[in-house]
Amino acid sequence: MKLLKLPIIAALRWRIYYWQLRNTPPRGTTLKAVEFLKDTPKNLPVIDLGCGHGTDSLVYLRAGWQVIAVDKNKKGLQILKKRAEKEQLSTNLQLICEDFTTFDIPPCVAVNANFAFPFCKENRWDDFWQRINNGLVSGGVVAGQFFGVEDSWNKKGHRTLHFPEQKIHDLLKNFTIISWKEVKKIGKDDLNQSKFWHVYHVLAQKK
């Protein structure tokens, strides 16, 4: 019974997260990616994995990109749909309610994955990363965050995935790093609880 309730609790927790972040600006990695890609032909889509309520998807849409937004939370996708309709941007938006780790990533110019990678299950990571590499064309970019090992969520029984810095460099061996920022700070989580954040914010271009 307890196990059955867990996905519901997770879905509700994400709803709170969307509400709390409803007025926050787009992620820096996304803004950098859009600027970096500004002269790239727009014949391939951007994939926004774990798009949530879509603040970053909207940035790509406004810049003229087609966006495939993937999230397993229906509420987030509904909010994004409404936001895109309000700005008359929904014709270039495809919404996919699916587990992003098993989604077949089509050929794309960018994989935007802000605060999404850490929510991949450890046993799904290698296949997921391979899917990203298969979909992303040469010259395309990956934008997102990896959680570091000093993060206070890096403990037994916690759902998030954490990598040592060297492992992230290994994952990006076929990429050129465009932007790399490591942040270590005490802050709050989505439930307003104090925690230590150890986050690598990365924008990298596939060779």
Residues that bind ligand SAM (CB under 6 A): 14, 17, 21, 27, 50-52, 56, 71-73, 76, 99-101, 114-116, 119
Element (H or E) spanning 167, and its range?
helix 165-171
Q: Cβ of residue 25: shortest distance to ligand SAM, in angstroms?
A: 11
Element (H or E) spanning 204, and its range?
strand 194-206
Sign of the CA dihedral 30, 88, 47, 161?
positive
Q: Cβ of residue 207: shortest distance to ligand SAM, in angstroms?
A: 25
Q: How far apart are CA 140 and CA 117, in angstroms?
A: 18
Query: Could you say which DSSP state residue 54 is in?
Result: -
Would you say 73 or 92 has its CB closer to ligand SAM? 73
How far does CA 34 lie from the centroid of its chain? 15
Q: What residues have CB less than 8 Å from 36, skipping those under 6 apart? A: 141, 178, 203, 205
Q: Cβ of residue 21: shortest distance to ligand SAM, in angstroms?
A: 6
Question: What are 110's two structure tokens?
Answer: 């960018």
Question: What are 53's two structure tokens?
Answer: 């309520």
Q: Cβ of residue 149: shortest distance to ligand SAM, in angstroms?
A: 19
Would you say 41 or 157 has its CB closer to ligand SAM? 157
Structure-token match 């850490």, residue found: 118
Q: What angle do CA 6, 82, 72 make, to 5 degrees?
A: 25
Would you say 72 or 206 has its CB closer to ligand SAM? 72
Would you say 27 or 162 has its CB closer to ligand SAM? 27
Q: Cβ of residue 5: shortest distance to ligand SAM, in angstroms?
A: 17
